[in-house]
Structure 1
């Protein structure tokens, strides 16, 4: 894209700047539309599983319900509690929303279609996702209210706990791919299973790691059965309790953008990303971003399915799973994976 603007007569610096802005908009605008539609899809899936109809009034089949909800919160007044720290109170949802968008910069949507093709793409995602804790903690503290503060502490402990095991899981993926570059991780999965299947999940060592990553993704995004930040009987609406209008909407958008990101990471790291499921010629006729979109939608359906069917954990069960089960298991698989790779490469 930079070359295109250079050919139009721009200097290289301005061409790079305009191309980067265009790339950001090409990711951010469809993502915002996608977030609106998956909120609708989420509600329809829950409704179907509970034998209800879900949104069906605003627009055909209720498709415009999310936009009606967005208009409603946009027109509401932003209320700041008297005793709150106003500056931090207002900046917290902006941090949450912005951080949720930043991680998409290194996601490969197709061969060559990536905004920032950096060698440490996977480490960048891990670092950016860790920054989401700040928005949560600041919102709970700045509200100067007991329940939001307790919820923020819970959310921070929960996110940090599962990021530890996620980090070790990503080490296993990096070892197999031989790189932390997102594009190279996807390409390493081409024909990985028996020379036919495109995906690390087919490997007997990596499949348990994929299951742990999927469950950790639910915990990292505070989705059911790990939505202890919003346990109605204890914490009302959690760290968002004192928020209204667009500040509440930014939390909502950031949460679903993070859910979409985790669905995308499951697809990219273990299911071949933009590659078709099988390494067969005619399947490559379908554009790569279509395959990636289908995989994201599949994982989002799994997220909604779990939310609609699995009861909420107790907090001690949540922390026990993270520290006493996933952490030692992820460490064990790092040892097994590195040992297996050293053995096979030495034998070769």
Structure 2
């Protein structure tokens, strides 16, 4: 196949997945929360099981007026929602769904993914700073503090996998994976799940938004499609973090049958982690800001450092 044609096909596949999967996660969240919390509304739109709830939400956002505050830094205000979407699109491109089924096999794919996914959080920070609103600014400051706190343990546990696999390539890490990693890398999996949930500012780590304290945090002044883009970026972040968790801890496309079904196993594994992130939102109340920092610096960082040390010693002993 011509090299340029292959690039186009891979790009189209990544874009199609990016457009579909976050919407699937959003629809799933509607239904899971409706069942767990007894919410009747999401079960009504469209008839059977409220299948059209997501469409109804989309129509609602489209018909709302797009308002830009007079006190806002207009160019930054308009750019912020798009930043989160683009960052997760670039991150999804390096996640492998098979030994030859990926958008791009970058030699430092893990570093690339962690770097560009962090940019999405900066979009929230830009929104809070540019809105010209004190509640938005406070939400942006909380976002910055949360980003600094939880980026560190997340990177440390990912570094543990890079050391164990001897590669920074997402494909290389998946190919080096073996079932024993489920045991000796389990603490890192827990740290990653908690840190990723906090990075996405999902409950119980949604202090930057905290509607009961900061109205809607960095998103207070956003309306219509710009506000919808922030919601879509959140679901895209769930997709990326769930697939990254599946690629590192569950062997990516590894499954009981032919590798030709690797994409299916990857979807199933990522879907399980996405469901867990939704479940956490339903089951846990919001933490206080001091509790948020204590969990990161006194809980996750020491465990991540211990995991990194165990991996380094294990690699030296077995080599």
TM-score by length of 2: 0.95
Cα displacement (A) at 1:225:
1.0
When Rg is computed on C-alpha atoms for both structures, the one with the higher figure is 1
Q: Which residue of 1 aligns with 2:125?
A: 137
**1:288 maps to 2:267:** no
The one of 151, 166, 170 aligned to 1:163: 151
Q: How far off is 1:29 after superposition?
A: 2.3
Q: Highest relative contact order (Cα 8 Å, sep 6+), 1 or 2? A: 2
What are the within-5 Å matches in structure 2 for residues 192-341 of structure 1?
Answer: 192-193=179-180, 200-201=181-182, 203-204=183-184, 206-276=185-255, 280=256, 283-284=257-258, 287-341=261-315
CA distance in 2, matches of 1:63, 1:32: 18
Q: Distance in 2 between matches of 1:139 and 1:53?
A: 33
TM-score by length of 1: 0.87
User: 1:23 — aligned with what?
Assistant: 10
Structure 2 stretches of 5 or more lacking a match? none
Matches of 2:164 and 2:259, distance apart in 1: 28
Q: Distance in 2 between matches of 1:286 and 1:25?
A: 20
Cα distance in 1, alignment partners of residues 6 and 75 from structure 2: 34
Aligned residue in 1 for 2:64: 76
2:84 to 96, 118, 121: 96
Name the residue aligned to 2:33.
Answer: 46
**Two-structure CA RMSD over aligned residues (Å):** 1.6
Query: Any conservation in 2 of the 1:37–1:66 contact (CA below 8 Å)?
Result: no
On the 8 A contact 2:34/2:43 being kept in 1, the answer is: no
Aligned to 2:42: 55
Instruction: Report the secondary structure of 1:230's partner residue.
Output: coil
Report if the CA contact (8 A) 1:100-1:254 is conserved: yes
Note the alpha carbon deviations across 1:147-201, whole angstroms, 9 max, x for none. 0110011012112211111111111101111101101111112x433xxxxxx22
